Chains A and B, each alone.
Chain A
Amino acid sequence: MTREEVLKDIQTKFGEVIIEVFDKSPKRAYIEIKPTAIVPVAKYIFRDLGARFNIASGVDAGTHIEILYHLTIESINLLISLRVKLDRENPAIDSLATSFEAANWIEREMHELLGIEFKGHPDMRRLLLSDQWPEGVYPLRQDYEEWDETAIRDRGV
C-alpha cells in the first residue's frame, strides 16, 4: 500500500474513534484517537500494516497527559504517531505490552515517571527510579516538587 492508501485505510476502519488526523510531512502523520481504542488501532497498524513499534513518549501538557505511540512503516517510510490524551487527575489506558513485547518497558517507565496507569500490564515493577523513591511522586509531572530533604541544590561557591 502507498502512503495515502494506508492513511485512508486507517481512517475508514477506525473512523468512529479517530478524533483528528494531522498530516505533518511526507514522512510523518499524527493520528489522535480515543484512549479506549488504543489496543485495536495499534494492533492493526502493527500486525496488519506491518509497522515497527519505535517507542512511546509521554508528556504532561498541564491540562492533560498525552502519550504518543510512534509506529514506523518502513516500506513506505512513514512514521505514524498515535496520540491519546488522558485525564490528568486519573490517567489510565489499556496496556499494549500484551500485544507487542516492545511496549513493556516503556510503559513501566511512563508509569513511574508520569504516573500513568497501564491496565493489564503483565509486570508493572519499578524500572528506573531508585528504591528510596516514594510511591505516588512522579518526577516528570509539571507540579512535581522536591521531596528529598537532604538534596543539595547549590554549587557550594
Chain B
Amino acid sequence: MGMKLKALLKSPWVFHLSTGSCNNCDIEVLDCLTPRFDIERFGMLLAGSIKHADVLLITGSCNRQSVERLKRMYEQVPKPCLVVAIGECAMSRGMFIHSYNCPVPLDKIIPVDAYIPGCPPKPEAILAGAVKLIQKVSGTA
C-alpha cells in the first residue's frame, strides 16, 4: 500500500452512498455515527461531499438507474480511495438477484475492498469491518 493511503487512514472520511437499498443498512450506518457506537473514535467522519471522501460505504442492490450515478460518483472520489460494500444487497444483491432491474453486482462495477455481510449488518459488524479494513491497509493485522 502506498504512503498516501496509509496517511489517510489516520482519519478516513467516509461517504455514504445508497444505490437503491431498502434503507435498513443506511439506518445501521447512521447508528455507527451515534455516540453509542461512535465510529469517530477510529477517526472516521461522515463527509458531506464525495470530493472530500476517502472511503465509500455503499449499500443497496445497484439498480440500472443508480449504477450510472455510482460510476459517475466513483470517478469523482480523490484516489486512492477504499470501497466498502455494506449488506447483502451490495455484496450479491440478496433477494433481488433475479430482478430485471439489478443486472450486475457491485464488485463487477467498481473494485471493492471490504465486504460486510448481513441484512442489515449490525453496527458492531460495520465497526469490525471498518477496523479490519484499516488494519489490512496499514499492515497491522
Determine if B79 is an interface residue (Cβ-Cβ < 8 Å): no
Given contacts A153-B98, A155-B92, A155-B97, contact A148 B65 (CB under 8 A): no
Determine if A133 is an interface residue (Cβ-Cβ < 8 Å): yes
Interface residues of A in 15-40 (CB under 8 A from B): none
A interface residues (Cβ-Cβ under 8 A, vs B): 128-130, 132-133, 139, 144, 146, 148, 150-153, 155-156
Bound together, the chains give a CA A144 to CA B104 distance in angstroms of: 19
Selected contact of B104 from candidates A130, A132, A152, CB within 8 Å: A152
Distance in Å: Cβ of B97 to nearest Cβ of chain A: 6
| A/B pair count, beta carbons within 8 Å | 28
Contact B105 A152 (CB under 8 A): yes
Contact A150 B104 (CB under 8 A): yes
In the complex, the chain A residue whose C-beta lies closest to that of B99 is: A139
In order of increasing CB-CB distance, the 3 nearest A-B pairs are A151-B103, A130-B64, A139-B100
In the complex, the chain A residue whose C-beta lies closest to that of B94 is: A155
Contact B98 A129 (CB under 8 A): no
Chain A neighbourhood of B124, CB < 8 A = none
Contact B65 A152 (CB under 8 A): no
User: DSSP majority for the A interface?
Assistant: loop
Bound together, the chains give a CA A139 to CA B97 distance in angstroms of: 15
Q: Which of B65, B68, B100 has the most CB of A within 10 A?
A: B100
In the complex, the chain A residue whose C-beta lies closest to that of B64 is: A130
Chain B neighbourhood of A155, CB < 8 A = 92, 97
Determine if B101 is an interface residue (Cβ-Cβ < 8 Å): yes
Distance in Å: Cβ of B130 to nearest Cβ of chain A: 24
In the complex, the chain B residue whose C-beta lies closest to that of A132 is: B64
Bound together, the chains give a CA A152 to CA B93 distance in angstroms of: 11
28 contacts between A and B (CB under 8 A): A128-B65, A129-B64, A129-B65, A129-B101, A130-B64, A130-B65, A130-B68, A132-B64, A133-B64, A139-B100, A139-B101, A144-B100, A146-B100, A148-B103, A150-B103, A150-B104, A151-B103, A151-B104, A152-B103, A152-B104, A152-B105, A152-B108, A153-B97, A153-B98, A155-B92, A155-B97, A156-B92, A156-B105
In the complex, the chain A residue whose C-beta lies closest to that of B105 is: A152
Distance in Å: Cβ of A35 to nearest Cβ of chain B: 27
Chain A neighbourhood of B97, CB < 8 A = 153, 155
Distance in Å: Cβ of A20 to nearest Cβ of chain B: 33
CB-CB contacts of B74-116 with A at 8 A, as 1s and 0s? Answer: 0000000000000000001000011011011100100000000
Bound together, the chains give a CA A148 to CA B108 distance in angstroms of: 15
Bound together, the chains give a CA A146 to CA B68 distance in angstroms of: 20
In the complex, the chain A residue whose C-beta lies closest to that of B91 is: A155
Bound together, the chains give a CA A152 to CA B108 distance in angstroms of: 9
Bound together, the chains give a CA A43 to CA B105 distance in angstroms of: 45
Interface residues of B in 48-74 (CB under 8 A from A): 64-65, 68
